[in-house]
Structure 1
Amino acid sequence: MASFLQFPLHYDTDPLTGFDCATLNLPDDHQGTVIAKLIRQTAPHRTQKAVLYIHGFIDYFFQTELAQQFNQHGYDFYALDLRKYGRALLPHQQAYDVQDLREYDAEIHQALDVIWREGHQSLILAGHSTGGLICTSFAARHSKHPLIKALWLNSPFFDFNLNSSVQKFLLHHVVKLANIVPNLAVPSGLNPLYVPSLHEDFDGEWCFDLKLKPQHYPRVRLSFIHAVYRVQQQLQQGISLHLPTLVMHSQKSSSPKTKSKDVNHSDIILNVNDMVRCAKQIKGDVSIVAVEGALHDVVLSQPAVRTFVYQQLFAWLQQKAL
């Protein structure tokens, strides 16, 4: 990847106030030119500690309070908009389209290289939902990376939210179709109440671009399902993580069909029991924290819940001397 990275990296002012953004040029894929975006906000005082955050599916980085919390605790904050997501989606590309989650290794490696060259010696790798699965896979396969010291997972996508053995049996066979018709779109199963529960124009408190994190995404391509399923199966067969890992998730999941209390106080995207089951299968120093009243993205929960999240996160980092 070194031939694609020019250093020092050129940053432009990001639309998010106080943040900078740089382009990472990546090798072409089956759709042509590929880029990722590296977003940065530095701490008030010079530090050798940093965090690299990776977003979830149908998402991009906009969680400014998360960055500010890390800054206040002495970490420079970096986030990736992965290829074909958010700031990095190019006009000729099909959004979110990858054949293998390991394709994201290219931008993660480049981001880590930049962070190291910018003077950091210690990094927390952080991921939400699909980003949590990507981070887990990356950390397991690159266990000796000298910069990564810990892993923080925010509601990681360790398994599909399926309620019956019949659904899981069907998923196994649907995945096989991806080798034949990877572009076939099937129902996503994503709860359409989730994004409105977050956005300030509806029932939430957060400002984000609904073009980059859309309110509705009813269908998903088989290529994505296959890429995720393959990594989930590897995880569930047993992996080892040679660094401290913190998994945080809502205390409960629910599947509301209309507006209700559950929409704003539970995970309506994934099954938290799956997260716990899979996290317990990981060999290593893994801590699991259930957060009462949390949303799928725990740092977008209501204020009192977020306070608890940050208390637990930074207490854990302090305990691990990170």
Structure 2
Amino acid sequence: MKTPPGGGWVPDLLGAGFEAMTLPLEPDDEGEVVATLVRYQPETSEPVLPARVVLYLHGWNDYFFQRPLAEYWHRQQVAFYALDLRKYGRSLRPHQTPNYVHDLATYDEEIDAALRIVRARHGGVARVLVMAHSTGGLISALWARRHPGDATALVLNSPWLELAGASFARSLTTPVVATLARTQPKSPMPNIDPGHYARSVLTRHGGEWEYDEAWRPHPMFPVRPGWLQAILLGHAQVARGLGLTIPILVATSGASLLSARWRDEMRTADTVLDVEVVARRAVMLGRLVTVVRVPGGLHDLTLSAAPARERFYAEVTRWTATYGWG
């Protein structure tokens, strides 16, 4: 189901309480570009708008579909918004290269547009926490560095802050990717997605979730050199230190299991990122970083089995209260 274009809120595909707004953006070399802002606003007898807001950013090969995440924040009396970034999910158009940008700063346009809408509704003094997953975590951290003061805190769910193998792997990969990015930036690279993550998430394979597989396909959308170069440059910035001054929570699974062959233990581990590398890179984000490990968590902790999922939400609740945001 596609979100209709237009200048207002319309019912969203997630059903009752969810609405979506299409955000027109500057066209690029592929033509029309949009992002989509989703909000959760269930019927309530409470007339006062929350002064605390969460803006959620999804990861790579992904879009926002986690209804329980919105419901969690609503129970905390926090207004919840989520962005489907350009060329992802609700924002993907047939003429576009899925998920592609050549510079992560490109996403500043839709993040800034979303925050203008949020502040127009909730007031200029509303406290905004940006929550993000995986590649969205990298995007949001770099955005926060370029926009000091626009967010009061970050909650990063398994953020992709570095390649497995850390800076050594990046130093070997970057020259090859840079050459390809100059000569054939949108050419598909070999797809090495074994499908383990989807197997751990989808209900038909024993997981707990359903989503639109046209927007979150398996094997995943192709990685392209121009996009990968942007990611590597982002990783290099993190490795040098971002110096953020706002509180940051980085949460990961308790363990990674990176293997070409399926094992049942993959239902309780991160099968996408090396969580040890993520934890080491996390402290480079800023002055006040809390790292939490969630035993039994998947790559997206919000999609984990109930015990790990509930542990993650409990840690977020405790952290936001500790640092004055909750």
Q: Which residue in the other structure is 1:141 paired with?
A: 146
SS of the residue 2:203 aligns to = coil
The alignment partner of 1:116 has SS state of: helix
Q: RMSD of the TM alignment (CA)?
A: 1.7
* Secondary structure class of the residue paired with 1:217: coil
Describe the shift of the 1:247–1:163 C-alpha distance in structure 2 as closer, same or farther (beyond 3 A).
closer
Partner in structure 2 of residue 3 of structure 1: none
Following TM superposition, by how much is the alpha carbon of 1:277 offset from its aligned partner in structure 2, in angstroms? 1.1
Is contact 2:158-2:278 (8 Å) kept?
yes
Determine helix, strand or coil for the equivalent of 2:270.
Answer: coil
Where in structure 1 are there 5+ consecutive unaligned residues? 1-5
Distance, in Å, in 2 between the alignment partners of 1:240 and 1:268 is 29
Structure 1 residue 258 and structure 2 residue 257: aligned?
no
- Per the alignment, residue 37 of structure 2 pairs with 38
Residue 55 of structure 1: which of 50, 54, 58 is its match? Answer: 58
Contact in 1 for aligned 2:246/2:286 (Cα 8 Å): no
Shift of 1:283: 2.9
| Equivalent position to 2:134, from 129, 144, 153 | 129
Shift of 1:48: 1.4
Greater shift after overlay, 102-111 or 236-245? 236-245
Change (3 A) 1:188 1:152: farther
* Whole-angstrom CA distance in 1 between matches of 2:75 and 2:231: 34
Q: CA deviation at 1:170?
A: 3.2
- Call closer, same or farther: CA 1:218–1:288 in 2, change over 3 Å: same
Contact 1:132 1:153 survives alignment (8 Å): yes
Q: CA deviation at 1:188?
A: 4.2
- Residue in structure 2 matched with residue 16 of structure 1 by the alignment: 14
1:79-100 C-alpha deviation (Å, 9 max, x unpaired): 0000000000011111111110
List per-residue Cα deviations over 1:173-231 (Å, max 9, x = no partner).
22212122212222244341111211122221111111111121274110110111111
User: How far apart are the structure 2 equivalents of 1:223 and 1:287?
Assistant: 32
Instruction: Report the residue type matching 1:132 in the other structure.
Output: G
Partners of 2:104 and 2:284 in 1: CA distance:
21
TM-score by length of 1: 0.93
Aligned pairs (5 A) from 1:47-126: 47-120=50-123, 121-126=126-131
Q: Residues of 2 paired with 1:93 and 1:138: CA distance?
A: 24
CA contact (8 A) 2:133 2:157 kept: yes
Q: Distance in 1 between matches of 2:294 and 2:172?
A: 32
Query: How far apart, CA to CA, are the structure 2 residues paired with 1:33 and 1:204?
Result: 36
| Aligned position for 1:244 | 247
SS of the equivalent of 2:313 reads helix
Give the structure with the higher percent strand.
Answer: 1
